[in-house]
């Protein structure tokens, strides 16, 4: 990617993940290939835009940014890249439709969509076809992430990309590397979304297992910090024990984890439930049995119905404890 010309980048979706990703994307990295960015953000929630601009001002990069009042204005600016971080398939479809219908019709310039949202493989493929139907120059990449809010904040995310063009994959890497540590090519369009659903199906069960173990250990009189320390140098070591431990005491001892902040600011229970629904829908389509994932969905659904949907999914510990 040439660094001699201005690259127009738009970022849509400034939630817990998107806020941090957009801040990192707008920040110049030493020796990267994006020396001259024109950066625009949009979120349908005005409060998110205000919060983002305050964060950008604190980071000393607010002079490099602007906020679009709507998708039409964003599209008419003819961006080179549109990065999206959205909570649902429906939101992702609405944003793509709102942008492609307003891109300058006479432009021969490519607009590359990078969708970091967790959506179904079928919707990813549909959006790829929609974008390509507008112009052969345009492209759409499904690039969901792993690493949680901490990974988004630290720019250490893993991107799982479904991309049908080697040229497009090469073009998007400098942007993704500002936000993450690993950019993995999973295959054709839709494959990134497929890999992410498989990852989160495993993650949900992993978290429930850690929650059960931490709950039992505490009931048996074991200090949660000690239990976490032992697990993290033993065979139970995993992301849910080491990075996002669901026990508040253990999380404070480790120095990371939403549970240390009353389960605020992490990956929401309702979002995990959404991902499990997508994974199980895909399993039905493929004729695959997923009994553990089915049980995980039941438990997260019960927690969501208890009013815990906005809390980090590690709040399952409190749900299992009857709180």
With H, G, I as helix, E, B as strand and everything else as coil, classify residue 301: helix
- Compute the C-alpha angle 85/4/135, nearest 5°: 50
Q: Which of 177, 196, 274, 311 is catalytic?
A: 196
Nearest alpha-carbon partner for 99 in 120, 137, 70: 70
181 among known catalytic residues: no
Alpha helices (H) along the chain: 16-25, 46-58, 71-76, 89-100, 121-134, 148-154, 166-179, 191-219, 224-231, 239-242, 248-254, 269-286, 291-303, 316-320
- Tokens of residue 37, six digits: 């960015």
Q: Which two tokens stand for residue 286?
A: 């493929």
Continuous segment of H or E residues that includes residue 38:
strand 37-42
Residues carrying an active site annotation: 196
């Amino acid at each position: 990617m040439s660094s001699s010309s201005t690259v127009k980048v738009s970022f849509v979706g400034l939630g817990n993940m998107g806020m941090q990703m957009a801040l990192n994307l707008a920040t110049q990295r030493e020796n990267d290939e994006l020396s001259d960015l024109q950066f625009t953000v949009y979120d349908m929630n005005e409060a998110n835009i205000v919060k983002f601009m305050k964060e950008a001002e604190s980071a000393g990069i607010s002079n490099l940014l602007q906020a679009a009042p709507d998708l039409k204005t964003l599209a008419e600016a003819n961006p080179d890249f549109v990065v999206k971080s959205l909570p649902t398939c429906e939101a992702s479809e609405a944003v793509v439709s709102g942008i492609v219908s307003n891109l300058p019709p006479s432009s021969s310039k490519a607009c590359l969509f990078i969708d970091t949202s967790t959506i179904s493989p079928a919707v990813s493929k549909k959006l790829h076809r929609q974008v390509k139907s507008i112009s052969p120059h345009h492209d759409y990449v499904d690039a969901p992430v792993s690493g949680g809010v901490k990974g988004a904040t630290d720019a250490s995310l893993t991107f799982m990309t479904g991309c049908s063009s080697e040229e497009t994959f090469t073009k998007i890497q400098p942007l993704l590397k500002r936000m993450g540590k690993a950019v993995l090519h999973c295959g054709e369009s839709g494959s990134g979304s497929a890999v992410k659903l498989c990852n989160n199906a495993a993650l949900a069960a992993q978290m429930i297992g850690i929650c059960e173990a931490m709950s039992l250990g505490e009931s048996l009189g074991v200090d949660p910090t000690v239990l976490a320390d032992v697990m993290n140098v033993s065979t139970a070591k995993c992301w849910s024990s080491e990075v996002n431990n669901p026990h508040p005491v253990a999380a404070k001892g480790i120095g990371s984890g939403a549970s240390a902040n009353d389960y605020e600011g992490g990956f929401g229970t309702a979002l995990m439930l959404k991902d499990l629904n997508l994974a199980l829908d895909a399993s039905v389509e493929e004729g695959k049995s997923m009994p553990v994932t089915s049980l995980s969905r039941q438990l997260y659904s019960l927690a969501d119905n208890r009013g815990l949907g906005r809390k980090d999914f590690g709040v399952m510990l409190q749900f299992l404890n009857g709180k």
